[in-house]
Chains A and B, each alone.
Chain A
């Protein structure tokens, strides 16, 4: 009898506490609420949807390119249009799709995976998203009006500098990427602080999921690599608009400088794109192999060493620039040996499959598709290390084939695996298995039909970045096959989209843990409540959801209401304190809008020289909004909690 009432009062107090949590963390369902939200899950989803839209746009560009190239002497596109299309396709796929898509995954998942209530800086997070949307919109709008960048995605000077590139096109490139860099940097800092300070109690470094390791490694790479790109673009803009001569050898500048700066960023960027994808693979496999990824410390080793070594190999993109042989050797050694950590990961996954009990579902199929394509891409990559071969195929379609195997295989396949895998968490709905298998097979077949023939046309001498070609060189048939493949691929990707929309609209409601996953996100509802976890989980192992102690505690503990979050120690995840989390706010949007005004002002000033004042107005807006943002809150220390 007394036990019964005790039980009853406990459950009512729990319900009350939950309602209070809901009030503390929930959002107003108004338009204002929509624009001011700082919830990491919403921001994560928005990142993914927006990056998805940019993928569709950049993919449409690719389809137009492929259509033009299907037959010799085609006239669908003018050479100028072709330049803009391939440049926007490459630039958007790299900057507006891959990285933001992974930031979406990271934003949604990292706090859930480490058992936190939000990111460390929720407003910075919202800010990063708004900046990304604005930058992407500016860049794609330039394409609509025929003023898109046209110097290739790596924008080599002197081609992209005055006097060789007139028009505003390359200003869109330099300013657009600078703009975007703000977003990426903010996001990276946020990930690092979140993971370092907000892991659930007990999650020491050796219990951190591999996906989280991958996001941290990626964020460090972003922070060290992006300044080089930003610097290069700022210099290019100064050269083009204000008569500076950074890249002009005629006035003591250097064209090689662009290549150094660009590739100091550019090589790590390949890993910035691929690393989170590898993290997704390591997250998906355990659920479908029913065991953890083997050799956890070696996997972490691979992530850490790749993040470091990728910074010491940029000169391998410059082997044709005439540096002394001896200097090359330092870069070749690192370039060759970086394959060891990559290989470790591949073998660890294969062993995980060998020693696990495999359940074949769509996410698993995409992982297998990834391994196949990525290994093929790595294989042709090793072929480039043979200098004589490299000289033969440089700037041919062989290269286009190679980097799509790496980028599409290494980023898009894992992404699709991740989308199907976490769809229940993202949306609270299950996808339809049959439809998704069709999608997989069409994507896989379409992909290989598109890019495999490019190896051949490349070996037959077809250069990249040509808008058309004469018939009878032996290239016709291979190009036709490529184009047919591209359409098959597009149908497959369309099925993915239909599958996602279908799931959101009428998918079966998802259980909390449909795959018996091992990490904390499966320990909360699908989709998670605004506060993520009612009782903050206590972690005891690397696979908390396979660990009785965690799952038990998640079910019974009293929730801790309040709009606060816990901080823990960097290495061992010991409890340290409690911080007040910021409320939803329109300020992040306002600052992003200010930057947008600055960028537009600088761009328009190309047509109307007086328009620099407009950029100045934007700067004022930024200044005002930032000042308001940083203004100390008018609250008593008790109200503000420990944070003050």
Chain B
């Protein structure tokens, strides 16, 4: 049981809670930065890879990371609510709340990444 609680407060917990936010930040700066800088320089590819490909990856990879965080948060939250039933320590309550927040946040950030990324399919990068 102690290992269980320790893990609940560790790296995975924080990844589940903040992973979506982090992934979106990386996505924003990579996708925007690459698009902006290469277009400004008058190029359409970086090191032989077309801009659209790189920007696409800048959407897809963070989206996948967010999905991973989302699944973790979901699993952890279910466990925390189950555990709360037989152990109502403040720590379990707190873990449960954080994971619920993480769950919703990850959904929101996934939505932002996908909504912004949808334009990659429609627009050409330097238009």
Contact = CB atoms under 8 A, between A and B. Distances in A.
Given A324-B39, A330-B31, A571-B9, A204 B112 contact: no
A308 B112 CA distance: 12
A210 to B, nearest CB: 13
Interface string B97-127: 1101100110011011101111110011111
A324 B35 contact: yes
A497 interface: no
Contacts of B111: 337
B116 A333 contact: yes
Contacts of A301: 100-101, 104-105
Contact of B116 (A323, A330, A572): A330
A573 B93 CA distance: 13
B21 interface: yes
Nearest to A344: B104
Given A297-B100, A327-B36, A571-B9, A312 B93 contact: no
Interface in A91-125: none
B34 to A, nearest CB: 10
A326 interface: yes
A332 B112 CA distance: 9
A329 B119 contact: yes
A544 to B, nearest CB: 13
A304 interface: yes
A298 B32 CA distance: 30
A202 B90 contact: yes
Interface residues of A, number: 35
Interface string B65-82: 000000000000000000
A326 B94 contact: no
A324 B52 CA distance: 13
A146 to B, nearest CB: 42
Contact of B108 (A206, A315, A332, A341): A341
Contacts of A331: 28, 32, 116
Interface of B: 9, 21, 24-25, 27-28, 31-32, 35-36, 39, 55, 90-91, 93-94, 96-98, 100-101, 104-105, 108-109, 111-113, 115-120, 123-127
13 contacts: A206-B94, A206-B97, A207-B90, A300-B97, A305-B105, A305-B109, A308-B25, A326-B55, A330-B117, A331-B32, A333-B115, A334-B116, A337-B115
Given A204-B90, A205-B97, 18 more contacts: A206-B94, A298-B104, A300-B101, A304-B101, A309-B112, A312-B25, A325-B127, A326-B35, A326-B124, A327-B36, A329-B116, A329-B123, A330-B31, A331-B28, A331-B32, A337-B115, A571-B91, A572-B90
